[in-house]
Amino acid sequence: MGANNINVVSSLFVFSIMFLSISSAFRTTAGKSRKQYTPCKNLVLFLHDIVYNGENADNATSAIVAAPQGSNLTILAPHNHFGNIVVFDDPVTLDNNLQSEAVGRAQGFYLYDRKNTFTAWLGFSFVFNSTYHKGTINLAGADPALNKTRDISVIGGTGDFFMHRGIATLMTDAVEGDVYFRLRVDINFYECW
Amino acid sequence: MGANNINVVSSLFVFSIMFLSISSAFRTTAGKSRKQYTPCKNLVLFLHDIVYNGENADNATSAIVAAPQGSNLTILAPHNHFGNIVVFDDPVTLDNNLQSEAVGRAQGFYLYDRKNTFTAWLGFSFVFNSTYHKGTINLAGADPALNKTRDISVIGGTGDFFMHRGIATLMTDAVEGDVYFRLRVDINFYECW
Amino acid sequence: MGANNINVVSSLFVFSIMFLSISSAFRTTAGKSRKQYTPCKNLVLFLHDIVYNGENADNATSAIVAAPQGSNLTILAPHNHFGNIVVFDDPVTLDNNLQSEAVGRAQGFYLYDRKNTFTAWLGFSFVFNSTYHKGTINLAGADPALNKTRDISVIGGTGDFFMHRGIATLMTDAVEGDVYFRLRVDINFYECW
């Protein structure tokens, strides 16, 4: 009798687990909604970009390498820089101080793609090879730069970030003329492996 | 006795569920084939691209910003435009009419990368901020433009398309000289979260 | 009695399975670590890149299309080519012989993004339309070209590689001046569908 009671209890428990298992299998294999949005890992990084303007070769971390007709490579183009492609290799720090020790680099490109407002498209990687982290985080997405926050996609990762996916939220932390800007990047990973 | 019979039945049921659970775990963690290809969400969009040719500044939605040696930025390069990079900010509509209300923008770049046929490589985002949708869809892939249909990857999304992945099928819907083309884009999401 | 014993045993077994199910569900839906790193598919490919230098138009498979101020489009820029964007359409073979039959093409771009060492950022696709494979593999990531191996992300795929994700390991297999280089690319897929 006592054993039977235990069995009834365990069977009920098993049924509820079975339900969880089935719904889990369904979600992952049939492409249905996954409702759990808790990040499995989070990073907060600051990226410092100093655009080459023809006179700051020693300090510049980025350069205009393409421009639309009528523009040049040392002055950002008119019409909100529409058509400029900028290649960058920016130091990455853990706080908002350009002089802080860099824990990695942000490497890739952005291009300005709207005439009537500041909007960029980014393809780049965070590259780490320090005690902080080893590996890369690859990102792509649209950056409507005047919005307070902008979300782009973490499309993959390697090393410590093997196969990771997630969302990076960009916030402009400082702007000095057309030469320096600083981004705060909050990365939330939702697939961590 | 009755309780025992129930237990035998529930045990058998449990064993079959265990099998499902194990195979589910195996699929998702060991990277085995997932056979279910039913999209969890579908969009059909039209993208209108008007290339700047030196005379249509008011209407143009895109511009050549890079070209190989010997070419310029107002005439697409010879050899199937090999080496041209075009930055665009194209209106997106729900039907094939350029005059229809835009529900979003397609922003990013394409580059022509073959000398002996028309083939492009695309990196861009659909950006929505309307009652239709809020959020972005990020895409990348090869576009052999003369094929009737071409598949590229949805590599991530934000907002309404948080963490989405899928396939976008491109179809050329209209071409007018070197200045205007219209793409129909069928997006099938297979990971919707 | 005997039936009860079986039930006790099966209950214990069920409990251990439940534990597996719970941890599996947790991993896939709450984004926790997935520890199984066995690839579900592997490819080894060789990519041959011949950069246009102003005199090899017939053989060249790639061309410089953007450069920083002061550089041109037939000589790679100083400072480790910082700022050059190269568009390519490279033959892909299954061994390290440029004369072997091409099973596909590698199409897209790379850009040099560091002044003090050779580092590139890649966005490209492997495009197959042969008995070897049909479909595309889309990749993006940072390539610190002097490292013996570099990992980039497989961000999606189509056709035979529908929805695939994984890691591609790049190894420089040969370099001849600034004109020819050959990459060995080991692709390990961890999501195969």
Judged against a pLDDT cut of 60, whether residue A188 lies above it is answered with: yes
What pLDDT score was predicted for residue C2? 47
pLDDT exceeds cutoff 50 at C26: no
Same domain, yes or no: A45 and A73:
yes
Q: What mean pLDDT do residues B145-161 have?
A: 96
pLDDT, residue B27, reads: 38
Does C6 score more than 70 pLDDT? no
Give the mean pLDDT of B107-131. 94
pLDDT tens, position by position, A9-66:
455 444 444 444 443 333 333 344 445 589 999 999 999 999 999 999 899 999 999 9
B7 pLDDT band, cuts 50/70/90, is low
- Residue B120 pLDDT greater than 80, yes or no: yes
CB contact under 8 A, B32 and C156: no
Instruction: Give C-chain residues touching A4 at CB under 8 angstroms.
Output: 4
| Residue B97 sits in the same domain as residue B16 | no
Nearest to A31 by CA among B155, C193, B27, B191: B191
What pLDDT was estimated at residue A155?
98
Domain count, chain C: 2
Average pLDDT over all residues of chain B: 85
Q: What percent of chain C has pLDDT over 90?
A: 66
Whether residue A17 is found in the same domain as residue A75: no
Task: Give the pLDDT confidence score for residue C37 in this predicted structure.
Answer: 86
Identify the sign of the CA torsion B55, B58, B59, B63.
Answer: positive
| pLDDT, position A36 | 58
pLDDT at C180 over 60: yes
Q: What is the pLDDT of residue A14?
A: 47
The ipTM estimated for the assembled molecules is 0.81
The residue type found at C32 is K
pLDDT tops 90 at residue C35: no
Residue A29 neighbours by CB distance under 10 Å? 17
Whether residues A111 and A66 fall in one domain:
yes
Mean pLDDT of C11-29: 43
Question: Taking 50 as the threshold, does the pLDDT of residue A175 lie above it?
Answer: yes
3-state helix, strand, coil in chain C (%, to 5): 15, 45, 40
* Nearest-CA distance B37 → chain A (Å): 7
**Which subunits have 3 or more CB–CB pairs within 8 Å of chain A?**
B, C
Determine the Cα–Cα distance for residues B166 and B93; give it in Å rounded to an integer: 20
A:113-142 residues touching chain B, CB 8 A cutoff: 113-115, 119, 121, 123, 140-142
CB contact under 8 Å between C69 and A88, yes or no, is: no
Share of chain A above pLDDT 90, in %: 66
Q: Of A66-70, B83-87, C150-154, which range is least confident? A: A66-70
- Which token pair is C100? 């072997």
pLDDT score recorded for residue C1: 40
If asked whether residues A96 and A113 sit together in one domain, one would say yes
Same domain? C70 vs C135: yes
Same domain, A69 and A5: no
Shared-domain flag, residues C98 and C21: no
Q: E-assigned strands of B103-149?
A: 104-112, 120-129, 134-143
Q: Report the pLDDT averaged over residues A127-143.
A: 97
Cβ-count burial of B133 within 10 angstroms (0-12 exposed, 13-18 middle, 19+ buried)? middle
CATH code (residue C157): 2.40.480.10
CA neighbor of B177 nearest in space, from B67, B58, B76? B76
Q: Assess whether C174 and C99 both reside in one domain.
A: yes
Q: Which residues of C touch B153 (CB under 8 A)?
A: 138, 155-158
Three-class secondary structure of residue B15 per DSSP: helix
Domain that includes residue B135, residue range: 41-191
With CA atoms as reference, the chain B residue closest to C21 would be B21
| Whether B69 and B120 share a structural domain | yes
State whether C133 and C179 are in the same domain. Answer: yes
**Same-domain status, C6 and C51:** no
C19 to chain B, any CB pair closer than 8 A? The answer is: no
Contact A151, A166 (CB under 8 A): no
Give the total residue count for chain A. Answer: 193
pLDDT at C76: 82
| Segment among B144-148, C27-31, C86-90 with least mean pLDDT | C27-31
When pLDDT is averaged across residues B28-46 and rounded to a whole number, the result is: 71
